[in-house]
Structure 1
Amino acid sequence: MNETENLDDIALDCHKLIASQQTLLLSTATANGAPDISYAPFVQDQTGCFYVFVSELASHTANLLQNPQASVMFIRPESESHNLFARERAVFGCKAEEIPHDDEIYAVQLQALSTKFGEVVNLLRSLSDFHLFALHPENGRYVIGFGRAYIIDMNDGSVRPVNSKT
């Protein structure tokens, strides 16, 4: 197998990891800059943007409203990992954007969330403290083991080794 085919397979594995997840790990920063980590159910659109519908009762919502930078991580479950020091994972640095209720994307993505997660989304939608955020990936890294780290191209989803000069 040539290097290009191998990188294509690696990129496909990255996409499969993300597609296998129902939730993402969400890292935000508090008003004083302290790191804060949580999780949220998500959907992803065809552009690669992640959408989360989160409550003001959760600290990550206030954090995103004050500081629109976040990191998200998708990680292979421990039970499926051969070595817990080298779990497969994809991490993205994202710019967060709150989607207003009257925006067409709001209805589209809430329908996508409802399709994926069921009636609970309709209940949450009736609560006034929930916000829809688009998490636009600006950079990404995919790790599949020791010494096997790749930069994810945000334009086409391809990968290249971290130590690559291109």
Structure 2
Amino acid sequence: MKNLINNQKSLMISSLNENKLPEISYAPFVMIDKDIYVYLSKAANHYYNLANDKNCSVMIIEDEKDSKTIFARKRVSFECEATKLENADGAIYNKFDEVHDSSMMMVLKTLDFD
């Protein structure tokens, strides 16, 4: 499981909209210790869904091109409670820079991402 988590850069995230209907999308993530951090755009529905209902589910799944069979891709799912970080720790940003390319993260920091 640790190898899968360390080799993927995005996860699937399922959240509930204002009508309590499920919506799924994906987001870049990093994991530090046992905490999962996602970088969300205010243009994404799940940004607002999670602001209204902190309960969500995430799945990290092996890329199709790396799987031996499409029906048995390695994957792990977690039921989560989302918390918006107003002032994220520098270690979190450093981890995003390390995993997702610091120049790309610099661009995202100037946009509407949280």
Q: Does residue 69 of the first structure (1) align with residue 55 of the second (2)?
A: yes
Q: Which residue of 2 aligns with 1:146?
A: none
1:123 to 87, 107, 110: 107
Q: 1:23 is aligned with what amino acid?
A: S
Larger radius of gyration: 1
1:1-166 aligned within 5 A: 14-46=1-33, 48-101=34-87, 103=88, 105=89, 107-117=90-100, 118-127=102-111, 129-131=112-114
| Counterparts of 1:24 and 1:49, CA distance in 2 | 14
SS in 1 for 2:99: helix
Alpha-carbon distance in structure 2 between the residues aligned to 1:90 and 1:114: 24
Q: Distance in 1 between matches of 2:56 and 2:86?
A: 19
Identity %: 34
Match for 2:15: what amino acid? T
Runs of 5+ consecutive residues of structure 1 not aligned to the other structure: 1-13, 132-166
Runs of 4+, deviation exceeding 6 Å: none
TM-score (norm 1): 0.63
Alignment RMSD, CA only?
Answer: 1.5
Q: Which has the higher contact order (CA 8 A, sep 6+)?
A: 2
Question: What is the count of residue pairs matched by the alignment?
Answer: 113
TM-score, normalization: structure 2?
A: 0.88
Which whole-Å CA distance do the structure 1 matches of 2:79 and 2:39 have between them?
18
Shift of 1:15: 1.1
Which is richer in helix?
2
